[in-house]
Amino acid sequence: MQNKLQQHEEIAFKNAALQDGIPDILCGACLVFWSILMIFDSAGFGGLAFAICFPATLAIRKKIVEPRIGRVQLKKSSLKLNHLLLAGALTFTAVVGVVMFLQFDGGDDGSSFEIGQLRNYGGLLFGLMLAFISTVVGLVWQAKRAHIYAVVIVASFVAVQMFQPADWGGMTLPVMISGCVVLVSGLVLFIRFIKRFPVVSPPEHLFGGGK
């Protein structure tokens, strides 16, 4: 019975957080926007766009989702563990990213042979980092589609690496492809969500407010 309750909790979480596709749209749009910034050599602003869009999207999401599926506050204990796992994975990836950047961005002088070899695969390593984040999100939130995104990300980076070997400069195309896939998937989910859950309001004579 405890397992059944846990299943109910997981279903509640999935219904509340995963079925609307808005987080996918946000992540996909940010990746596409970031790839466009890369074209204009302003990739550094990508993080800023995400930082601005994330809270705005959460507010919009609340306005769209709550009138359709209702308001639910999930158990703090389960959310805390999820947030810890996700924060750990993101911190780990950020540290690896900074180390990679410092190693690869240096000049050729003094670089070891291994670093020189790795530099050729910089884009691919970055793709693996993105795929790792996606996989962790998939595992933590039990979202199967995040695993598919991880496969798509790795596949797009591998394809670009195979046909157009380059170091950091070769990230634009795979980031754009990955972003488009995530964005389109999010849009499909969102349209399905809107169609499946029309806006409902409880009858006031039964559930009136302002007691």
Select 41 or 211, whichever has its Cβ closest to other proteins.
211
Taking CB under 8 A as the rule, does residue 47 contact other proteins?
no
Please pick, from the candidates 108, 110, 195, 211, the single residue that binds other proteins as defined by CB under 8 A.
211
Other C-beta atoms lying within 10 Å of the C-beta of residue 149: 25
Distance CA 6, CA 69 (A): 21
- Residues numbered 64 to 83 that lie near other proteins (CB under 8 A) are 67-76
Select 67 or 97, whichever has its Cβ closest to other proteins.
67
Q: Per-residue x/- marks for other proteins, 147-186, CB under 8 A? A: ----------------------------------------
Q: What is the dihedral of CA 129, 138, 152, 98, to 10 degrees?
A: -10
Taking CB under 8 A as the rule, does residue 198 contact other proteins?
no
Give backbone dihedrals phi and psi of 121, rounded to 5 degrees, phi first: -110, 20
Please pick, from the candidates 47, 88, 116, 202, the single residue that binds other proteins as defined by CB under 8 A.
202
- Residues numbered 99 to 128 that lie near other proteins (CB under 8 A) are none
| Shortest distance in whole angstroms from residue 117 CB to other proteins | 51
The distance between the two most distant Cα atoms of the chain, rounded to a whole number of Å, is 77
Length of the chain as a residue count: 211
What would the two tokens of residue 94 be? 């950020």
Question: Counting beta carbons within 10 angstroms of the beta carbon of residue 134, is it exposed (0 to 12), middle (13 to 18) or buried (19 or more)?
Answer: buried
C-alpha 125: how far from chain center: 17
| Shortest distance in whole angstroms from residue 2 CB to other proteins | 8
Taking CB under 8 A as the rule, does residue 5 contact other proteins?
yes
Give residues in contact with other proteins (CB under 8 A): 1, 5, 8-9, 12, 15-16, 67-76, 197, 200-204, 206-211
